[in-house]
Amino acid sequence: MKRFLRASVLALAFAGSPVLAQGSGSATIDAIVKRGEVLCGTSGVTPGFSLPDSQGVMRGLDADRCRTVAAAVLGDARRTRFVITTTQNRFTILQGGEIDVLTRAVTWTLGREGNLGLSFAGINFYDGTGFLVKATSGITSARQLDGAAVCVAPGSSTELAVADYFRQHNMKFNPVLIQDTAEIRGAYLAGRCDTYSTDASGLAGYRFIQGDRAGEHVLLPEVVSKEPLGVMVRKGDAKFFDLVRWTMFVGLIAEEHGLTQANVDQALASNVPEIRRLLGLEGDMGRALGVDNRFGYHIIKQVGSYADMWQRNIVPVGIPRGLNRLWNQGGLHYAPPLR
């Protein structure tokens, strides 16, 4: 009972805790504090990742990653403004300072990190290029796509992955290049192409929103590339880069310890050292990143652990967790020690 009462008192204190004032050591963090909101670039058209709900609220794993930054910097995950970007303009908008963070299911590649003046601050979702076909086509494998017309977005990593796959297997294809997501899906439905290719998660989400007609589409079993989908920031602000990266790790560490939005207040009474550091009960972990020491608590309380975000956003779409499980559950997600 004493531990519960102590946790309750701490929860009330944490709920009203202030954010760190100006002078964080990061120009981007200081700008966010002055502006009072985080500007996040996203697609706004991908179920499970970023798609407005019936009230116009952006929902999805990418959207929640933006909210973790707002929770860490401002103490309020709601202080997030979403800027819709396209495949063609997403990098220039970030380069030009119109957004602070890009979370748009962007694949981490050498070319992008080496040439654009941008850095990947972590992997949000492990994915790969897939192919969607109509069930009536009778196609059951990507190896049957020789000579096919492929709907794909120009300038995307998918375009390169598709070309590599067909070249590797001595197959030919006819690319149907369309930038707008709605148009590319319309072209696929209209029969302008034999298959629609993008990240497998995006294809699963698109099939999901077909509702009763989802069975008319088949996601082929082959995943033909590695597509680690990351969060991007501008180079030159190392403190902000570190912060954005650790907002991801907070969610993973929380899941490792079984912390959720529902039980994080009770965890304030924990005597586990890493949990105490995670929640800002001891140490100066937040100050090292230019924010309040209780940034981890704000993230977990307002947005959740990675498991919370997965359950809320990805489970309804029907995508198995697979490689996105924690390292100790057979997956690839692994957070460095919080110390």
Residue 21: what pLDDT? 46
Which residue segments constitute the domains of the chain, with CATH numbers given? 2-126+228-329 (3.40.190.10), 129-225 (3.40.190.10)
> For the segment 196-226, what is each residue's pLDDT rounded down to a tens digit?
999 998 899 899 888 899 999 999 999 999 9
Residue with tokens 């119109």: 98
Report the predicted TM-score, pTM, of the whole model to 2 decimal places: 0.87
C-alpha separations of 31 from 199, 200, 281, 289, 291 in Å: 33, 36, 27, 15, 13
Residue 15: what pLDDT? 62
Nearest to 175 by CA among 157, 193, 200, 198: 193
Residue 24: what pLDDT? 79
253 close to 335: Cβ distance less than 8 angstroms: yes
Residue 14: what pLDDT? 63
Residue 8: what pLDDT? 54
201 close to 127: Cβ distance less than 8 angstroms: yes
Residue-wise pLDDT tens for the chain (339 aa)? 555 555 555 565 566 555 554 577 999 999 999 999 999 999 999 999 999 999 999 999 999 999 999 999 999 999 999 999 998 899 999 999 999 999 998 999 999 999 999 999 999 999 999 999 999 999 999 999 999 999 999 988 899 999 999 999 999 999 999 988 889 999 999 999 999 999 998 899 899 888 899 999 999 999 999 999 999 999 999 999 999 999 999 999 999 999 999 999 999 999 999 999 999 999 999 999 999 999 999 999 999 999 999 999 999 988 889 999 999 999 999 999 999
Rounded Cα distance between 196 and 184, Å, is: 8
Residue 209: what pLDDT? 85
φ, ψ at 200 (rounded to 5°): -60, -35
